[in-house]
């Protein structure tokens, strides 16, 4: 049987009305979201793949993507920006954020006193801070709020990072990914909320999260710090449950990220085939060797130990934090030495959003080179998130470009002082002489 020819619809994009010089939107003339190329010039540009530092760098951007890197002839552009003594880098990727929350004295009761609308308004503010800090993509666990935040960012309605969402994380009844600490009947969860026990319920929960927007499945392989259940490292999902989870997610082309602190749960998660271990507080040689063999990423989340507001935590939770956070750094140091694949992740929300770059300095203190630290938040995180369109400054990549003062290979801490952010060709931050010339975001 002959298949009828499909009719191709040519979709004509309606050109935006010309902006008059007096229009408040005229500021957007500098954003590069109109016809013609934007040219970015800077003293330096780092090729994170090769480690090569180019001087007198030129990037050409058009229609939201990079169209040329250091071309022989630079096209004429109405928007030719010289950013001066800065280093251009690909926009950073944080593989572990919580844009739906930020820890405070009320965090443990917000689940029953606040609404999704409150979380959504806050998420807009936190997302704005995150992207202005140079993090143009995040992998976020935050329910429907951060699924929709991602949609709002992609549509251009709000300024924030691109989001790879997990929707609700999968966990056992009463475990770290369930809401605990309340009387029976209060905030009980089922597969829709990600609470699932046994392989078949887990499979159902995976399907439900994917149905409603999950691009990654997040799970709690072990207990955790910021919850009211028992020993922080205790294994929660069985190997059988996690294997069912990974296999079901894989049928949809989706990876699993496992929150895991204790060694039994970490090992089971790695054996089950998760793509990343989040936190990975207690790593044995056996675990690290298996992670190297299987290419399982460690997403360390260690900066939070310096910034978590211990006073805001209930005593049970504070005790767990004080027990696990120092151990986490010892494991990370050994993982760096041994060569475990590492992708950048912070757990932002457990500390104030926008400070994500603080994580880089810890990696360097624990023995990683500055170049490798930058790779964790670019090429490695892009690999983990299955987003090959970002993480490098190369022709055809998304025009997610940032700039830091000086040379980050000499001083990694300059990553905390991002001067320029372009997201999909749109300039959303440009600090010159201490003043942000293109302040967008919240
Ligand atoms: Zn987390």
pLDDT tens-digit readout, 167-207: 999 999 998 888 888 889 888 899 999 999 999 999 999 99
Residue 98 CA to ligand 1 centre (angstroms): 7
Q: How far is residue 35's CA from residue 292's CA, in Å, rounded to a whole number?
A: 46
Residue 142 CA to ligand 1 centre (angstroms): 10
Cα distances (angstroms) measured from residue 289 to each of 158, 246, 266, 267: 43, 20, 12, 11
Residue 3 CA to ligand 1 centre (angstroms): 49
- Helix (H, G, I), strand (E, B), or coil: what is residue 144? helix
Read off the pTM: 0.90
Cα distances (angstroms) measured from residue 50 to each of 54, 60, 197, 253, 396: 11, 20, 45, 29, 18
380 close to 344: Cβ distance less than 8 angstroms: yes
What's the mean pLDDT when you consider all of the chain?
Answer: 89
Class of residue 251 by CB neighbours under 10 A (exposed 0-12, middle 13-18, buried 19+): exposed
235 close to 259: Cβ distance less than 8 angstroms: no
**Does the pLDDT of residue 3 top 50, yes or no?**
no
Select the more confidently predicted residue: 10 or 119. 119
Q: How far is residue 294's CA from residue 301's CA, in Å, rounded to a whole number?
A: 21
- Helix (H, G, I), strand (E, B), or coil: what is residue 69? strand
Domains of the chain, by residue range, sit at: 32-91+392-436, 92-384
262 close to 233: Cβ distance less than 8 angstroms: yes
Picking from 227, 228, 284, the residue whose alpha carbon sits closest to that of residue 259 is 227
Residue 29 CA to ligand 1 centre (angstroms): 38
Residues whose CB is less than 8 angstroms from the CB of residue 151 and which lie 6 or more positions away in sequence, other chains included: none
The pLDDT value given to residue 252? 98
Residue 435 CA to ligand 1 centre (angstroms): 33
Residue 21 CA to ligand 1 centre (angstroms): 46
403 close to 316: Cβ distance less than 8 angstroms: no
Residue 143 CA to ligand 1 centre (angstroms): 13
Q: How far is residue 331's CA from residue 341's CA, in Å, rounded to a whole number?
A: 13
Residue 299 CA to ligand 1 centre (angstroms): 10
Residue 346 CA to ligand 1 centre (angstroms): 8
pLDDT tens-digit readout, 372-416: 999 999 999 999 999 999 999 999 999 999 999 999 999 999 999
Residue 347 CA to ligand 1 centre (angstroms): 5
Residue 401 CA to ligand 1 centre (angstroms): 26
Lowest mean pLDDT among 24-38, 89-103, 146-160, 262-276: 24-38
The CATH fold of domain 32-91+392-436: Urease, subunit C; domain 1 (2.30.40)
261 close to 221: Cβ distance less than 8 angstroms: no
pLDDT tens-digit readout, 357-371: 999 999 999 999 999
Residue 394 CA to ligand 1 centre (angstroms): 31
The pLDDT value given to residue 323? 82
Q: Give the ranges where 284-426 is alpha helix by DSSP (H).
A: 285-294, 304-307, 315-338, 358-365, 370-375, 381-384
Contacts 24+ apart (CB under 8 A), 284-293: 285/338, 287/263, 288/334, 288/335, 288/338, 288/340, 289/338, 291/335, 291/340, 291/341, 292/338, 292/339, 292/340, 292/341
Residue 352 CA to ligand 1 centre (angstroms): 13
3-state helix, strand, coil in the chain (%, to 5): 35, 20, 45
Residue 390 CA to ligand 1 centre (angstroms): 23
The pLDDT value given to residue 33? 52
Q: Rounded to the nearest 5°, which phi and psi values hold at 364?
A: -70, -40
CATH of domain 92-384: 3.20.20.140
């Amino acid at each position: 049987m002959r298949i009828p020819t499909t009719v191709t619809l040519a979709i004509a994009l309606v050109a935006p009305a010309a902006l008059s010089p007096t229009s408040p939107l005229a500021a957007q003339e500098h954003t590069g979201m109109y016809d013609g190329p934007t040219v970015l010039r800077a003293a330096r540009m780092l090729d994170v793949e090769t480690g090569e530092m180019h001087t007198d760098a030129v990037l050409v951007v058009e229609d939201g993507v990079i169209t040329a890197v250091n071309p022989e002839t630079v096209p004429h552009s109405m928007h030719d920006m010289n950013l001066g003594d800065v280093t251009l880098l690909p926009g950073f990727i944080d593989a572990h954020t919580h844009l739906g929350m930020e820890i405070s004295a009320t965090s443990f009761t917000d689940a029953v006193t606040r609404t999704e609308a409150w979380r959504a308004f806050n998420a807009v503010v936190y997302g704005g801070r995150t992207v202005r800090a140079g993090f143009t993509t995040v992998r976020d666990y935050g329910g429907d709020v951060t699924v929709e935040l991602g949609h709002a960012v992609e549509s251009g309605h709000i300024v924030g990072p691109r989001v790879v969402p997990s929707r609700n994380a999968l966990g056992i009844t009463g475990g770290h990914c369930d809401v605990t600490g309340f009387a029976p009947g209060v905030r009980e969860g089922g597969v829709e909320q990600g609470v699932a026990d046994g392989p078949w319920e887990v499979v159902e929960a995976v399907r439900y999260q994917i149905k409603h927007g999950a691009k990654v499945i997040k799970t709690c392989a072990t207990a955790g710090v910021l919850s009211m259940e028992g020993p922080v490292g205790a294994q929660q999902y069985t190997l059988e449950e996690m294997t069912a989870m990974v296999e079901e997610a894989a049928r949809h082309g989706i990876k699993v990220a496992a929150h895991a602190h204790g060694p039994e749960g970490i090992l089971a998660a790695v054996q089950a085939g998760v793509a990343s271990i989040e936190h990975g507080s207690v790593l044995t040689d056996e675990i690290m060797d298996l992670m190297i063999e299987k290419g399982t990423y460690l997403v360390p989340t260690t900066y939070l130990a310096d910034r978590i507001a211990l006073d805001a935590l209930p005593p049970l939770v504070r005790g767990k934090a004080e027990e696990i956070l120092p151990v986490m750094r010892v494991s990370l140091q050994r993982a760096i030495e041994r060569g475990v694949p590492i992708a950048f992740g912070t757990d932002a929300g457990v500390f104030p959003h926008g400070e994500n770059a603080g994580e880089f300095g810890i990696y360097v203190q624990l023995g990683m080179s500055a170049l490798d630290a930058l790779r964790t938040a670019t090429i490695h995180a892009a690999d983990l998130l299955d987003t090959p369109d970002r993480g490098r400054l190369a022709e055809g990549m998304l025009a997610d470009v940032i700039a830091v003062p000086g040379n980050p290979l000499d001083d990694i801490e300059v990553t905390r002082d991002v001067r320029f952010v372009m997201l999909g060709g749109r300039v959303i931050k440009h600090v010159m002489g201490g003043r942000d010339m293109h302040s967008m975001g919240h």
